[in-house]
Structures are given as C-alpha cells and as structure tokens.
Structure 1
Amino acid sequence: MPSHILRGIVMICLASLCYNLNDMTTKFLVDDYSVGMIILIRSTMALPLLVILAVAVGRTRVSGSSRVGFHAIRGALNLLAAYLYIRGLEHLSVAEATVILFALPLMVTAASALFFKEVVGWKKWSAGLCSFAGVIIAIQPGSETFQPASLYILGASFLYAANSVTARWLPEADNLWTVSFLAAAFQALFVAPVALAEWTSVHPEDLLIFAASAVFSSLGIGLGSMAYRIAPAADLAPFGYSGLIWSLAITWIVWGTFPSFWTCAGALVIFCSSLFYFLFREPGPHRGPVIKKKSVV
C-alpha cells in the first residue's frame, strides 16, 4: 500500500478518535447549554489552544491562507453539521449517534466517483453499501423504536461528507494547524449572533470540558481535512468506521450503559464490511498523493 495512503489512513483514524472524544465531552454539556453556546465557546477557546499546540507539537505556526473565502464556506458547512449533530446528541447516546454517522463514508465514496472521477471498484461499493445497510439496521426507520433525532445525525453526515470532499481544494501551503484554526474561527464568527442572543451563565467547572471539546473538535476537522487532501477519498472512507469501537466503549465505560441490540447489530454489519474491504482491497497501480509536498502537518 502506498505511503501516502497509509498516512491518510492514520490521519483519518486519529480524526475519528478526536471526533468521538469531542462527542463525549459535548454530551456532558448539552443539558446545560444551547447548541449555539457550545459551538461558540469551544470554537473561541480552540483558537489560542491551536496556536500553542502548533508551536509545542507541530514545531510550526498557524499562518494565513490564500483562500480565506474557501475556508469560510467550509466553516459554514462545519457549523451546520455540528449544529445538527449536537441536536441529535441531545436525544441519542454517543454510540447511537456514531453508528448513524457512519452513513458518511458511503457518501464520500459516491462523491469521490462523481466529482473526482476516482476509480471505485465493486469491493469499495460493496463495503460502502453494506455499511449503509448497517446504519439502517441501527436506526430502524418506520419502527416503533425509531427516533426522529436520528435524522439530525443523517443530515450532519451529508454535510460532513461535503466538507470532506472539498478538502481536495485546500491550498498546498495550509498545514493542519492553519486548517483547524480557520475552521474554528469561522464557526465562532458565524454562530456568534445566535449564541449571544441565547446566552446564559457558564459554570466555571465546565470550562475544562469546553477546552477539551475545543481541542478534540478542531483536531478532528484538521486531521480529516489533511487525510482527504493527500489520499483518494474512496480509499479512506472505510477507515472512517474506526470510531465504532471507540464510541461503543465510551458509551459503556463513561455512562455505564450498553447500546441496544439493533445498534450493536448495525455496528457489527459495519465492522464486517470494513474488515472485508481491508482484507480484500483491490490490488493494482495507485496514483500518487493528491498534493505533493514534504509535510502536510
């Protein structure tokens, strides 16, 4: 497997972990604060934290971008996706929301074939379709156990997919920290009017939770963007399911509840389809990385 695809796989798995940790911290906040407040506070807190992390961890710095307007569009997509996802978390567990969000890789695979003309073989399509079938099993549309809040997560999946495929057009000079910083900055800017209109007092003991959510959400966006920028989306999409184990474990360990039978059944179908793709991936020549540079981090 080419090195740029391996790097992309590692990044997408780390992004999935960050998203799940962000879900965990956000779940602690949804009962006390509005969705707008949560997004504004965590996005604002992320800005100085990312500047510090860029120097301390990345040995680099946050810089400007030649396509600020494009980052603004992606920030708007991220904001709306985050809003829908947090609304879903108000009614669903982290595991339930994550399983539904796994409609995302199928959408990314389809978009990569339609817009970037990437070769998507029958094995990739099979893995994606089986994974989506797992989502349907988990949410059971039309049954008595179906929760309308699941539609929030499906809407977020569509928007996250759009954001993922647009990462291909990020400027070459924009590193992980710049992408993460600008995403947080535009989310804060766009949500501020709504959040300030419904502002309530913030409990001091919640500031640490907001800070953790800020770091996890920003790094998740940045790592995911970098992954889809350097490797074909169809190759990375199945590995977006790596968060499955984390989400089930978090729900069990942190909240002491085990997901429902249908959630676990859907998760098992998703896991098996991802394992199938990993073990029987189509051989053959691969194109080089989408953007050639010494380092994207």
Structure 2
Amino acid sequence: MTPNATAQNTRAGIWLMVATTLVFAVQDGISRHLAASYPVQMVVMIRFWFFAAFVMVMAARQKGGLRAAVKTHYPVLQALRGALLAVEICVFVAGFVTLGLVESHAAFASYPLLIAALSGPVLGERVGWRRWCAILAGFVGVVIILQPGVAVFSPWALVPLLAALLFAVYGLLTRYVARRDDPAVSYFWTGIGGAVAMTVLGIGHLQPMAGPDMAWMALLCCTACLGHWLLIRAFAVAEASAIQPFAYLQLVWASGIGVVLFAETVRTNVAIGAGIVVTAGVFTLWRQRVRARQTPAC
C-alpha cells in the first residue's frame, strides 16, 4: 500500500472513530433517560436483543455464514466475554443515573490504564517503566475525580470504576481469543453471549413502556447497531493503534450531553482529573504502538 493510500485510510478511520464516539455518546444519553424510569436490566436486555439480531445478520452476510461465525476455539471464554460486556453496560448505565454522564465517563476513561496494568499478569505482555508511570499518573487523576463531594462518600462513586474494570477484563479476553479466533467470530459471540446473559438477568424486570419511551428505546437500539457498524468500519480501514486515542472523544460528547440536556455540571476536580487520565491513557496507547513496531515479526 502506498504512503498516500495509508494516510487516506488513517484519515478515514479517524473520522469513522469520531462518528462512532458521537453515536455511542448519544446512546449513553438515551440510556440515562430510559434507566431513570425503567429497570436498567430491562433497558440493556432489549438493547442486546437487537444487537444480537444485528450480529446475526452481519454474520449471515459473511463468507461461511452463521456456521463460520459460531466456530470458536474458546467457546467458554467467548461466552464469558459477551456476559461480561452485558454486565459492564448494566453497571455503567446505573452509574449514569446515580452520578451522571460527566463523572461516570471521567472515571471510566481509566479503562485503557487498567488494560495496560493487567496485560502483564493476564496475557504475559511486558509493561515498561514508562507505561507504569503513566498508569500511576492516570490513577492519581482518578483519585482527583473522586475527591471532595457527596459522591466520594457513597459506594456509587466506585460504580464507573467497576465498569472500567469489567470492560478492561473484557478487552483482555478479546485480545486473548484473537490469538486463534477471527474478529468476526468474536463479534458474533459478543452479541449472542450478551443477549443470553441479559435475558437471564433482565426477563424478570420486563414491564410495559409508555409510547414516547418505546420510540426512545427503538432509537437506542438503532444507535447500538450504527455505533458498532461504524466501529467495525473504522478498524477495517485503519490500524487500531492510530485511531484508538480518538475513542476518548466519547468523554467529550457525553459530557456535553450531560451538561446541556441533563443540567449536569463539570466540577473543577473532575475536569483536572479527567485531563490527567486521558493524557496518561493516550501515552500508554502511544507506547504500546511504539513497542509493537519495535517487536520483530515472527
């Protein structure tokens, strides 16, 4: 591939990632709205039902169809991945309702640092001193985010951190199964595994919805499908290491939605802490990219 083509692909990937973060931020705003009136388990369950249908349609259109998508070398881990993502979304949405979009996303932004910290013991990857310094600095930022305020004295302050930890484990398992499974297989199992897990957790919480809220629920399902489709396209046209830092824009979009539509405020300590966390996260992603380029191909 020529340098110009590579640059064009990277540019397209960046714009697709920007669009992805915006769609996911809108999805978070709708989830916050619905979860204030309906059980979180119900909202996430319906969302995963539509997501499962979406991945089945996508798989059916690929070479080999559903038969190829379901074949995995890690059936237990793949099912666990889907369940973990479903539970993580439940925890995260609960954080939206109790803490708001701004503070939830500010603390959740620490998940790349958790992935970097756990990649050594879980995947056997080497984490150098520079990344460890960035990880420690990032968690200083998390402490700043959770500093003085009512939330710091409540267990709810730890909810977005729990969501970040669950998502980090999900990410590590995704990298592990990628050693032998095709990305399309992992994507299929994410939707199906999550739908099964949420049906078990949420079917008992199902209740009627008001007409306007049914429209919001339909829009939520559409944003889930659109967001994941955009994400697939972004990673299809550009290297993950080049576009992953732009995923932090979701914090910006979600905070804007929280301030404008839900009358949330951005406390000074949250802004400072989030800035430290994002800076540390981008640095760890950059160092990971540098290390990958220095590692000779087998």
Could you say which TM-score interval applies, normalised by the shorter chain? 0.7 to 0.9
> In the aligned structure 2, how far is the partner of 1:288 from the partner of 1:203?
58
How high is the TM-score relative to the length of structure 1? 0.74
Q: Is the 8 A contact 2:70 2:188 kept in 1?
A: no
RMSD: 4.0
1:269 pairs, out of 276, 287, 291, with 276
In structure 2, relative to structure 1, the CA distance for the partners of 1:250 and 1:270 (3 Å cut) is same
Are 2:294 and 1:286 aligned?
Answer: yes
1:31-70 paired onto structure 2 within 5 Å: 31-51=36-56, 64-67=69-72, 68-70=75-77
Equivalents in 1 of 2:81, 2:287: separation in Å?
34
Residue 3 (structure 2) aligns with: none
Distance 1:115 1:182, change over 3 A: closer
Aligned match of 2:145? 138
Partner of 2:182: 173
* TM value normalised by structure 2: 0.74
Distance 2:78 2:289 in 1: 34
The verdict on how the C-alpha distance between 1:150 and 1:16 changes in structure 2, with shifts beyond 3 A counting, is: farther
**CA distance in 2 between partners of 1:119 and 1:289 (Å):** 16
With 208-217 and 159-168 compared, the bigger mean Cα shift is at 208-217
- 2:244 matches 1:246: no
Task: Return the alpha-carbon distance in structure 2 between the equivalents of residues 199 and 149 of structure 1.
Answer: 24
- For these two proteins, the number of residue pairs brought into alignment is 278
What does the per-residue CA deviation read over 1:156-210, in whole Å, with 9 as the maximum and x for residues that have no partner?
A: 11111110011121344342xx544432322222222442222210223333432
Letter in 2 for 1:250: I
2:69–2:188 Cα contact (<8 Å) kept = no
Give 1:55 deviation, angstroms: 8.3
Residues 246-290 of structure 1 show CA distances to partners (whole Å, capped at 9, x for unaligned) of 222222233344322221121222244356667888856434799
Give the AA of the match of 2:294: H
Q: 1:165 to 1:218 in 2, by over 3 A?
A: farther
1:128 to 122, 132, 135: 135
Whole-Å Cα distance in 1 between the matches of residues 290 and 78 of structure 2?
A: 35
Q: CA offsets, 1:113-158, max 9 Å, x none?
A: 22333333333222222222111111127x6452421222211111
Corresponding position of 1:295:
none
**Distance 1:275-1:74 versus aligned 2 partners, 3 A rule:** closer
Contact persistence 1:231–1:289 (CA under 8 A): no
Gaps of 5+ in 1: 291-297
Q: CA deviation at 1:102?
A: 2.0
- Residue by residue over 1:4-23, the C-alpha shift from the partner in whole angstroms, topping out at 9 and shown as x without a partner, is xx79x958777655543331
**Contact between 1:20 and 1:247, CA under 8 Å: does it hold in 2?**
yes
Change in 2 beyond 3 A, CA 1:288/1:232: farther
Given residue 103 of structure 1, which amino acid in structure 2 is its aligned partner? S
Quote the Cα distance in structure 2 between the aligned partners of 1:125 and 1:12. 27
Q: What does residue 262 of structure 2 align with? A: 255
Structure 1 residue 96: Cα displacement = 0.7
Kindly indicate which of the two structures has a greater share of residues assigned to helix. 2
| Structure 2 unmatched ranges of 5 or more | 1-5
Kindly report which structure 2 residues correspond to 1:192-231, keeping only aligned pairs within 5 A, or say none: 192-217=199-224, 223=231
Q: For 1:51 and 1:33, how far apart are their aligned partners in 2?
A: 27
State the match for 2:166 in structure 1: 159
